[in-house]
Amino acid sequence: MASENKTRPTSTSVQEFIDTVTNETRRSDSMVLLELYKKITGHPPILWGNSLIGFGSYHYKYDSGREGDMLLAGFSPRKQNIALYNTGHVRYPELLAKLGKYKTGKSCLYITRLSNVDMTVLTQLIESGYNHMKSKYNS
């Protein structure tokens, strides 16, 4: 039997979650990102698990038989940084070169604060990643 995805949509208020972020800069940056993602995706924010703010969702199914739902785009304000999911940053080295201060993981883009990055470039990355995921999963 395939294991269930632990990261699922919840009914917890996104605003209440953001209000619990203790780092003031991270909290205010989260409010800016909240509005940016709503504008780009047209989806309302939903808290996935206990810390992922997601916009839209898609259904996946692996060859192994494991399947589930995941957010199309989103972010998580963490203690060390803000993790942005599904930005598609690996496909856009030319944008990353202009972004500013960041780190990357396999599927995440990590920024410490929005003042360290070019917001126009960040917006392009979020839009590109969202559009890619939307077309890939026909959402």
Segment 32-50, tens digit of pLDDT: 999 999 999 999 999 999 9
Q: What is the pLDDT of residues 86-99, one digit of tens each?
A: 988 889 999 999 99
Greatest alpha-carbon pair distance for the chain in Å reads 46
pLDDT given for residue 64 in this prediction: 87
CA torsion 21-54-112-126 (nearest 10°) is -150
Comparing C-alpha atoms, which of 51, 68, 55, 73 is closest to residue 133? 73
- The better pLDDT of the pair 31, 136 is held by 31
The answer to whether the beta carbons of residues 7 and 49 sit under 8 Å apart is: yes
Q: What is the DSSP letter of 83?
A: E
Q: CB neighbours of 139 closer than 8 A, spacing ≥ 6?
A: 56, 57, 58, 72, 133
Alpha-carbon distance of 132 to 17, in angstroms, equals 28
The answer to whether the beta carbons of residues 108 and 84 sit under 8 Å apart is: yes
pLDDT given for residue 66 in this prediction: 83
- The better pLDDT of the pair 139, 17 is held by 17
